[in-house]
Amino acid sequence: MDWQAIGLSVRLATLVCAILLILGLPIAYWLTFSRRRWTFLVESVVALPLVLPPTVLGFYVLMAIGARSPVGRAWEHWTGHGLAFTFEGLVLASILYSLPFAVQPIAAAFSQVDVSLLEASALLGSSRWRTFTRVLAPLSLQGIITGAVLSFAHTLGEFGVVLMVGGNLPGVTRTVSIAIYDQVQGFDYAAANATALLLLVFSFAVLSVVYGLTRKPWSVTRS
Amino acid sequence: MTTLRAVIRARVSADFLLDVDLAVEPGITMLFGASGSGKTTVLRCLAGLRTPESGRITIGDRVLFAADTGVDVPPQQRNVGYVFQQLALFPHLTVEQNIHYGLSALDQDTRRARSREIAASFRIEPLLQRRPDQLSGGERQRAALARSLVTNPQVLLLDEPLSALDHASQSRIIEDLRNWNAARGIPILYVTHSHREVFALGARVIVLERGTVLADGLPEHVLEAPEQESLARLTGHENVLDAVVESIRPDAATMQCRLSRSDVELEVPRAKGEPGSSVRIAIRAGDILLATEPPRGISARNVIAGTIGALRREGATVILQVDTGVPFEVHVTPGASESLGLAVGRPVWLVIKTHSCRTVV
């Protein structure tokens, strides 16, 4: 089993999940509460990765971070090496690719919170930040957890974008799904099966734990 | 003593402009109107949850909003207590945590003392550790009031907070609110669409219709003797009838009127108008007595014969349409309807006291 690839994938998914929470909460907040007319345009941009083929997204990210692009040149200036085919490049691409999986459940949870609770908080003297931390976030916890888990799981399993942006460098950009692909290409079905099964069991376990902790779909709501 | 003064112009929709000028003195003032009259918009403007297009809102000397100078104090700093129609208690916090919520600037001990004091005023001490979903309707109202008042607001705004409660619980809560306010004397604006609540709770009433103040004053003056037809309908005068003054009896302070397009005559209290001029007469459907035989030997001056044209039951009221040449709406209890054997087509006599009739414009 390719433990190096598994470790790399877990590291990538954890990092992307953490960054997406930091980015996703304000984006979801803005999408939910902004009254600007062009909010829907931002919403569409955020949702693009849901419908775009990963290769298309990967291609544009590669163009955007390549050695000839301003972003790529700036990164090279700061760090001394390019962004394409590196772990950092992979993180950036994965953030874009998994953005809707973090933002949409959080925004959905925010919009379910009764606005009068937020107004009551303001009228009791609380700043927007305190209203967010004390009322909005606790009441949206299930959506936030769902967003975190989905973006983690989605990053763990991504393939097309990784291949386009990161290539297949062991220990740097060779994630678990690419390892599986490699093993199948080399007719090593036993190894592919072991890795795939591990990923399957792990994904199922994480989702079960989270949904088990946060959801009560069959319980009757007390009035 | 602080008075809340508000001049508010706010466009609610293309054809609805809220345009009011209010003064709310210390004590309870009722803001009364049908749904869609703009009551909640007034409260939201006062609380800073909505910015009026123009106007000025002050509490005593403190300016909360002034369109001309650009002052618009945010809701966080208005120091206005607000109890929402749905109460908006934080569902994930206990009653005590809800009460502490507005006291975050204070230290733990002061907060404890303040919440214990307010819990005693509103009789919710045993409930402090419960969550809102473990409370009864009345307990939730008390918790919501306590949460707003513990911050010592300069004004309290109540958006139909008690409409879901029975009368007895309502008046007990209001009694506690009055006691709490006795020492403080802040203006309390209480929004309602029930004229029963206006009489039960308010010392003063402001009537709102289609975004403008129709009348204000003591409930018994404003609602019992409505001067406008719209106000009469709003306050439960289901019958508003066109009539012409026939003659005036100055000695009895009454006048004889004939209802338009009919021969029906009514004696009503003397009001402005000379013989020959038109008037409108408002009568509550519940003030009309109904007899199944011609009544004799009674003091009421108006006895009108008619037939029941329609009959339907709504809750604890039987609503009758009685055709006398002009249609009258009459309300009786289901018991009265049964024992009299009321049915469509049955001849009946309406008995209306002179002073049950109001002339309106």
Orientation of helix B108-121 relative to helix B167-184, angle to 10°: 130
For chain A, which residues make up each domain, given as ranges?
3-35+52-175
Shortest distance, CA B48 to any CA of chain A (angstroms): 9
Q: Residue ranges per domain, chain B?
A: 4-232, 234-360
Stronger pLDDT, A198 or A83, i.e. the higher one:
A198
For A3-35+52-175, which CATH superfamily applies? MetI-like (1.10.3720.10)
In whole angstroms, give the CA distance from residue A5 to residue A69: 29
Query: Chain A residue closest to B156 (CA)?
Result: A123
> Would you state the pLDDT for residue B79?
93
pLDDT of res. A220: 46
Convert the pLDDT of each residue in B174-202 to its tens digit.
889 989 998 889 999 999 887 777 777 76
- Residue where the block lists tokens 């802040």: B186
ipTM: 0.80
**Residues A115-158: tens digit of each pLDDT:** 999 999 999 999 999 999 999 999 999 899 989 988 998 898 88
Residue A24 has pLDDT above 70, yes or no: yes
B296 pLDDT more than 60:
yes
The matching CATH number, chosen from 3.40.462.40, 3.90.1640.10, 3.40.50.10320, 3.40.50.300, for B4-232 is 3.40.50.300
B234-360: CATH, from 3.30.160.620, 2.60.120.10, 2.40.50.100, 3.40.225.10? 2.40.50.100
pLDDT higher than 70, residue A216: no
Task: Name the minimum distance, in Å, from the CA of A115 to any CA of chain B.
Answer: 9
> What is residue A19's predicted lDDT score, i.e. its pLDDT?
96
Please report, for residues A73, A75, A184, the alpha-carbon distance to residue A79 in angstroms, rounded to integers and kept in the order given: 10, 6, 36
What's the sign of the alpha-carbon dihedral B331, B335, B336, B342? positive
Q: What is the C-alpha to C-alpha distance for residues A100 and A24, in angstroms, rounded to an integer?
A: 9
Q: Is B160 helix (H, G, I), strand (E, B) or coil?
A: coil
Question: Which of B276 and B43 is assigned the larger pLDDT?
Answer: B43
Which token pair is B334?
Answer: 């289901």
pLDDT above 70 for B225: no
At A215, the pLDDT band (50, 70, 90 cuts) reads low
| Pairwise CB contact (< 8 Å): A119 & B102 | no
Lookup: tokens for A58: 């990967």
Q: Which of B104, B134, B145 to mutate to test the interface with A (most CBs of A within 10 A)?
A: B104
Residue A102 CA to residue B35 CA, distance in Å, equals 41
C-alpha pair distances (Å), B111 with each of A115, B114, B184, B283: 26, 5, 19, 54
Dihedral sign, CA of B334, B339, B344, B350? negative
Contact between chains at B104 and A120 (C-beta distance less than 8 A) = no
Q: Looking at residue B224, what is its pLDDT?
A: 65
Distance from CA of A205 to the nearest CA of B (A): 28
